[in-house]
Amino acid sequence: MHALLWWGKCFALMSSTTEKIKEKLSIVDIVGSYIPIEKSGANLKARCPFHNEKTPSFYISPDRGSYYCFGCGAKGDIFSFVQEFESIDFVGALKMLAERAGVPLDEFKKTEKSENSGILEALEEACVYFQNNLKTETEALLYLKNRGLLIQTVNTWRVGFSKNDWRTLKQYLKGKGFSEEILEKAGLIKKAEGKESYDRFRGRIMFPIFDSAGRVIGFSGRILKSENPDEAKYLNSPETPVFEKSKLLYGYNFAKKAIREAGFVVLVEGQMDLLMSHQAGVLNTVASSGTAFTEDQAEILKRGADTLVIAYDADKAGQNASLRAWQIALKNGLMVKVAELPEGSDPADEVKKDAENWKKKIEIAPDVVSYFVGIMKGKEIKEKDLILKEKVLPLVKSVKSSIDRSRIIDKISFEAGVSTQALLEELDTISEIDTEEKQDDLKKREDKFGALRKARLMRFYLESKKSPFKDEFEKLFFELLPEEQNFKVENEEEFHFESEMYYADSKDIETVAKELLYLLEEEVLKKELEKTMERIRILEKGTSQEEAQVELLKCQEISKKLSGLRKKYSYNL
């Protein structure tokens, strides 16, 4: 009983908080702050940010404070939009929108009680603990200073240090009231069979990983010094209920605004590269953070930018990682550029040497094809051909748009001195690098008649607007199609938006409704006439002449009905 009362209080507070936020933030303001929108009748429309499309099918209703996409079925309110766009949970979206609306969450936080909230609290407390440790760790502070980081950067990004002890963090957090179960689920401690659990991170500089709402959801720890040569230089949090590596980009919470403003994003590999790039003023930088660039990460970036500048380390491992990142980015419709770094260097080194030169390298980064064409210059023909076959053409194969692909082929032809025909023939023999293919879940709507869906929408629209013409329309509609009385709307949100698309701007809704009924009955009668004529042809081939005569009379009746439709609906052409 006590639990039920607690959940009831929590739900009431959450409901009250969300309503306060909705009163201050409109769906138009929120969606419009992420993507370009345009007026479309009573609603607004845009190209859907949740699936690839060229023609806008994403509609926003200011009246209902909701959105719906006719392409992929995405729907909801400001909270679900921010959740999906930012790839965060509801509480994260609530935090972001509450801050934007100026609505305090203190009371809601007091009642919030879930496994995820416990994990997030433990991670936040661990972050504070690591930050405090760093203040007294001279060697770690010196390392960060020598790498070029300023103390302001260290503080902004909440960099910390994990002591080289086995259980100090565990003991500290248990003293704060966290259970070992929560600490293990948060990825902060590890269990050893038959032994006591211990701290996952030891003797490492700790870089907290944030979600889009700025909450700590994991860590990446860089070893400060080690006597074991096999020990990993970087150790990341494991997958947890709040941390999914493939869907996260380090620094995105700080970079997302700058990405949307600049229209492009800079992708680096490691935490130090990212911090130094931000310190240099390139605020639209994110890091793949030691993991391979993924389809999900490309989708997240594409929502705010159309161009990706890849600036991975200029060594063999970095080049291999770049190749896969280029493939995935191109396949997801991003334009790709390459920041050219001296061999053996990385972005952090480049920023430390000359921050202005780093900005220049980003500014003049060539597109990926021009980059490879540049590499081919001065090479022997055999080496050029190898670069074309192994590097360039697999990239071209990844480009979805045939128009973009054609332009790239023309450019390669001009720069490399190879005919477009030869390149196209070679392209046919090239296989793409294996990447996950995401298929849009396109909603297909099939009706018995072309006008039937519009009639259903009209009925729905008249009912939602409490039109006095509703009863007359339904009477005529059900006479025409009696079975429609049993029709149930499976997706009300879709019907709301689509009915408004068709009818919200109609000045004389009654005339529009009668015209629709006219067209619908005309279609029904024509199909009935067609079926009757077919039956007559079959009967005349046999010996059923009398039955054929009956069907002929039916045809005459249908024809009379067709000719009388204008009068029936007072519809004048």
User: Which residues, in sequence order, are CB contacts of 165 under 8 Å at separation 6+?
Assistant: 199, 202
Q: Return the percentage of the chain with pLDDT > 90, whole number.
A: 35
Q: Is residue 179 within 8 Å of 194, Cβ to Cβ? A: no
Coil vs helix vs strand at 268: strand
Q: Residue 24 has which token pair?
A: 């201050």
- Nearest CA to 462 out of 491, 503, 494 is that of 503
CA 480 to chain centre: 44
Lowest mean pLDDT among 260-269, 302-311, 455-464: 455-464
* Burial of 82: CB neighbours in 10 Å, binned 0-12, 13-18, 19+: buried
Higher pLDDT, 1 or 443: 1
509 pLDDT exceeds 90? no
pLDDT value at residue 402: 77
Q: What is the mean pLDDT of the chain?
A: 84
| Cα first-last separation, the chain | 68
pLDDT value at residue 422: 86
Q: Residue 474 has which token pair?
A: 């339904």
pLDDT value at residue 187: 96
Q: Residue 241 has which token pair?
A: 């209920």
pLDDT classification of 437: cutoffs 50, 70, 90: very low
Query: What CATH code would you report for 252-428?
Result: 3.40.1360.10
CA 214 to chain centre: 18
pLDDT value at residue 167: 93
For the chain, which residues make up each domain, given as ranges? 2-111, 115-243, 252-428, 452-568
| Torsion of Cα atoms, 91 then 97 then 100 then 102, to 10° | -70
Architecture per CATH, domain 115-243, reads as: Alpha-Beta Complex (3.90)
pLDDT value at residue 111: 52
Higher pLDDT, 66 or 488: 66
- Nearest CA to 346 out of 290, 293, 308 is that of 290
pLDDT value at residue 511: 83
pLDDT value at residue 323: 81
Whole-angstrom Cα distance, residue 371 to residue 417?
16
DSSP string spanning 275-332? HHHHHTT-TTEEE-TTS---HHHHHHHHTT-SEEEE---SSHHHHHHHHHHHHHHHHT
What pLDDT digit, counting tens, does each position of 537-548 carry? 777 776 667 777
Residue tagged 């909270």 (tokens) = 79
pLDDT value at residue 237: 94
Whole-angstrom Cα distance, residue 544 to residue 401?
59
* Burial of 167: CB neighbours in 10 Å, binned 0-12, 13-18, 19+: middle
- Give 33's DSSP letter: T
Higher pLDDT, 383 or 218: 218
Average pLDDT rounded to a whole number, residues 425-447? 51
529 pLDDT exceeds 50? yes
Higher pLDDT, 453 or 149: 149
Query: What CATH code would you report for 2-111?
Result: 3.90.580.10
pTM above 0.75, yes or no: no
